[in-house]
Amino acid sequence: MGIFDKLKESIFGHHDATPATPAGPPSAGIVAGGSSTAPAAPPAAAPSTPAATMPTVDVAAMLDGKAAKTGHKVNWRESIVDLMSLVGIDNSLAERRALARELGYTGDLNDTAPMNIWLHKQVMRKLAENGGKVPPELLD
């Protein structure tokens, strides 16, 4: 499991963005024999089903709740270091560099300020892509 997956699991809990019920469409495609209309319907239904059942997790609410339980101020909305710490993940420079590589950072890993800013924005984007409701101001 990668660092981002650990982050996501810590925020989302055990919600899986991939539903475990795609059994209906494949069996529908197997049923009838040479009609061109029968195979066309299942591919259209398959992509819409996962999107409809994907859980939405309010990222800000989850993280604000965790932050309220700490005994100190946590700036998770701007700091990747605080965000990682808040969800119980090692926030060391080595871990942040590993996360940057995992997410495809192409900048200088020794120039930590731009890397940290990029990481925070990228993590927020990835959370949104994976079923998280992320405030718009955290995506830009």
pTM of the predicted model, to two decimals?
A: 0.71
Q: In this predicted model, what pLDDT tens digit does every residue of 80-114 receive, in sequence order?
A: 999 999 999 999 999 999 999 999 999 999 999 99
Does 42 have pLDDT greater than 80?
no
75-78, Cβ contacts within 8 angstroms, sequence gap of 24 or more: 77/138, 78/120
Q: Cβ atoms within 10 A of the Cβ of 53, count?
A: 13
